[in-house]
Amino acid sequence: MVAKFDLTDDSVVVVIGTGAGGGVLSNELAQKGVKVVALEAGGRYLPEDYINDEWESFGQLAWTDPRTTSGDWRVARDFSGLPAWIVKAVGGTTTHWAGASIRFQEHEWKALSTYGAVEGANLLDWPIDAAEMAPWYEKAEAKLGVTRTGDRAGLPGNNNFKVFEKGAKALGYTEVHTGRMAINSADYDDRMACQQTGFCFQGCKWGAKWSAAYTDIPRGEATGNLEVRDHAHVARILHDESGKVTGVEYFDKDGNLQMQKARIVCVAGNSFESPRLLLNSASEMFPNGLANSSDQVGRNYMRHTTGSVYAVFEKPVRMWRGTTMAGIVQDEAHHDPSRGFVGGYELETLSLGIPFMAAFLNPGGWGRSFTTALDSYENMAGMWIVGEDMPQATNRVTLSDVKDQWGLPVANVHFSDHPNDVAMRNHAYKQGMAIYEAVGATRTFPTPPYPSTHNLGTNRMSEKPEDGVCNKWGQTHDIANLFISDGSQFTTGAAENPTLTIVALAIRQADFIAREMAVGSI
Q: 399 lies in a domain?
A: no
Q: What is the pLDDT of residues 8-45, one digit of tens each?
A: 999 999 999 999 999 999 999 999 999 999 999 999 99
Q: Is residue 343 part of a domain?
A: no
Residues 347 and 389: their CA atoms lie apart, in Å, by: 15
How confident is the model at residue 146, as a pLDDT?
98
**Alpha carbon 396 to chain centroid, angstroms:** 16
Q: What is the pLDDT of residues 331-381, one digit of tens each?
A: 999 999 999 999 999 999 999 888 888 888 877 778 888 888 889 999 999
Kindly tell me if the per-residue pLDDT of 117 is higher than 90: yes
Q: Quick: pLDDT tens for 141-162.
A: 999 999 999 999 999 999 999 9
Say if residue 449's pLDDT is above 90. Answer: no
Confidence of residue 222 (pLDDT cuts 50, 70, 90): very high
CA 180 to chain centre: 16
Angstrom distance (rounded) from CA 391 to CA 303 = 9
User: Could you give the CA distance from residue 266 to residue 354 in angstroms, rounded to a whole number?
Assistant: 39
Give 2-8 contacts, CB < 8 A, sequence gap 24+.
2/221, 2/224, 2/227, 3/35, 3/221, 3/224, 3/225, 3/226, 3/227, 4/227, 5/35, 5/37, 5/227, 7/258, 7/259, 7/260, 7/261, 8/261
pLDDT at 221: 98
Kindly state whether residue 140 falls inside one of the protein's structural domains. yes
Give phi and psi for 222, each to the nearest 5. Answer: -65, -20
pLDDT at 366: 82
Question: How large is the average pLDDT for residues 490-506?
Answer: 98
What pLDDT sits at residue 355? 85
Give the pLDDT confidence of 234-263 residue by residue, as tens digits. Answer: 999 999 999 999 999 999 999 999 999 999
Does 353 map to a domain?
A: no
> What CATH number did the domain enclosing 502 receive?
3.50.50.60
DSSP state of 379: G
- Supply the pLDDT for residue 458: 98
Q: Tell me the pLDDT band of 283, cut-offs 50, 70 and 90.
A: very high
Q: What is the pLDDT of residue 417?
A: 97
Domain region containing 215? 1-52+81-97+102-146+211-299+456-522
Residue 2 has pLDDT above 90, yes or no: no
Q: Which strands form 482-484's sheet, in the order they lie side by side?
A: 226-229, 36-39, 13-16, 264-267, 482-484
Task: Tell me, yes or no, whether 117 lies in a domain.
Answer: yes
> What secondary structure does DSSP assign to 5-20, as a single string?
--TT-TTSEEEE--ST
> How confident is the model at residue 99, as a pLDDT?
97
Is residue 160 in a domain? no
pLDDT of residue 435: 98
Give the count of domains, the chain.
1
Determine, yes or no, domain membership for 159.
Answer: no
pTM (2 d.p.): 0.98
Q: How confident is the model at residue 128 (pLDDT cuts 50, 70, 90)?
A: very high
Handedness of CA 7, 10, 11, 14 (dihedral sign): positive
Residue 354 lies in a domain: no
Given a cut of 80, whether residue 112 has pLDDT beyond it is yes
- The predicted model gives 270-299 an average pLDDT of 98
